[in-house]
Amino acid sequence: MDLPTRRTTMSVPPRSIDWRIVLASIVTIGVALLFWGSPFLLPLKLFVVLLHEMSHALAAWLTGGAVERLIVTADEGGLAFTRGGNRFLISSAGYLGSLIWGVVLMQLSLARPARRRVALRMLALLLALAVILSVRDPFTLAMVGATVAAALLLARYGPPRWQQIVLWLIGSFSALYAIIDIGTDILSRGPLAGVPFFGTVTFQNDAEILAAETFVPAFVWGLLWITLALAVYLWNLRQLATRR
């Protein structure tokens, strides 16, 4: 996947389509849909689960709450134990935070090499802070530690094209996680329960926590989130695939 670097140039017609971005997007979406349940994508999915839980944690900290601990499990589960703060924003921050992470990282994948290196180092710093402040269990510690080391090594020694591809993949899968996981974890409990792809799940999810706070059904929150996530994801792809 050979992605371009965004540059401003007078010779490029406004709003021209960059078909490399279109192709990269189609390939990424296809891989996600075909192999979402495959062990092939497990490392990437564990990382985006971590971003999801970190989004809950950031919302708690920003609204005056505290984070007791973050957990990511080998079966792609995750928990953020928070205390205080704004429950509405904390519960909403998981999937919407995953979407924001995805959009930002996809945009940074097309930035100049120096900005990509800064992005990788900042990501490593944020993960390290999460470890210091809220990670206690061995699996999450090992996973985050390995990710921090990989991000720093990639920023220092990785070829610019590798940095670009890694940021693109992490960003794309984080944004797609916000879409696909809403379907499998939330919409599966409403009228779509038992429908192929949506399936049926039994654990409590973010929308059910929010439903208990607002008395708005979890299925409605799921529809709102997935509509917003799809709109933002498609808008982002349009921005990336066109040049001024």
pLDDT of 67-112, one tens digit each? 988 888 888 888 889 999 999 999 999 989 999 999 999 999 999 9
Q: Where are the alpha helices (DSSP H) in the chain?
A: 19-35, 42-62, 87-109, 113-134, 138-157, 160-185, 206-214, 218-241
- For residue 171, give Cα distances in angstroms to 13, 37, 101, 120, 178: 27, 19, 6, 12, 11
For the residues 32-54, what does the mean pLDDT come to? 88
**More confident site: 173 or 12:** 173
Pairing of strands 78-83, 66-72: antiparallel
Best-predicted range by mean pLDDT among 102-111, 194-203, 216-225? 102-111
* 61-65, 135-139, 201-205: range with highest mean pLDDT: 61-65
197 pLDDT above the threshold of 90: no
What pLDDT sits at residue 188? 56
Of 44-53, 80-89, 189-198, 201-210, which gets the smallest average pLDDT?
A: 189-198
The pTM assigned to this predicted structure is 0.83
Q: Taking 80 as the threshold, does the pLDDT of residue 46 lie above it? A: yes
The residue-averaged pLDDT of 188-194 equals 48
Average pLDDT, stretch 175-191? 72
- Per-residue pLDDT, averaged over 209-215, amounts to 86
Work out the number of other CB atoms within 10 angstroms of the CB of residue 63.
16
Task: Determine the Cα–Cα distance for residues 241 and 4; give it in Å rounded to an integer.
Answer: 10
Q: What is the DSSP letter of 135?
A: B
Average pLDDT over the chain reads 84
Which position has the higher pLDDT, 12 or 111? Answer: 111
pLDDT value at residue 75: 84
Q: DSSP secondary structure string, 83-109?
A: ESS-HHHHHHHHHHHHHHHHHHHHHHH
User: Where are the chain's structural domains?
Assistant: 47-243
Q: What is the CA radius of gyration of the chain?
A: 18
Residue 15 has pLDDT above 80, yes or no: no
Chain CA centroid to CA 189, Å: 22
